[in-house]
Amino acid sequence: TQLLEQSPQFLSIQEGENLTVYCNSSSVFSSLQWYRQEPGEGPVLLVTVVTGGEVKKLKRLTFQFGDARKDSSLHITAAQPGDTGLYLCAGVATGTASKLTFGTGTRLQVTL
């Protein structure tokens, strides 16, 4: 079973702080996606990374895919209360169908 482990599980920070969320696995992924989910809603796509070593930026969010395509990170600069939510990484393991394997999730709370 391919597992994606996220850390930390919970993060409570103040507005303006920086943070990094990690997503690690022993399996290789052909692509990896990051989602943000609000309570009672479906996950909303933030980014897809497909190339080892790839870095993508989305405003204050920076996503990196590990060289070996086994891990990824999400860095948020100057967090805002609107960043509060559940962050999920999800990957498509190589050699499998395109089903997503999700990480355990990181619940972020940003306070004023």
- Per CB under 8 A, residues contacting another protein are 30-31, 33, 35, 40-45, 48, 50, 88, 90, 92, 97-105
- Shortest separation between residue 45's beta carbon and another protein, angstroms: 6
CB-nearer residue toward another protein: 66 or 105: 105
3-state SS track over 16-54 = CCCEEEEEECCCCEEEEEEEEECCCCCCEEEEEECCCCC
CB-nearer residue toward another protein: 33 or 72: 33
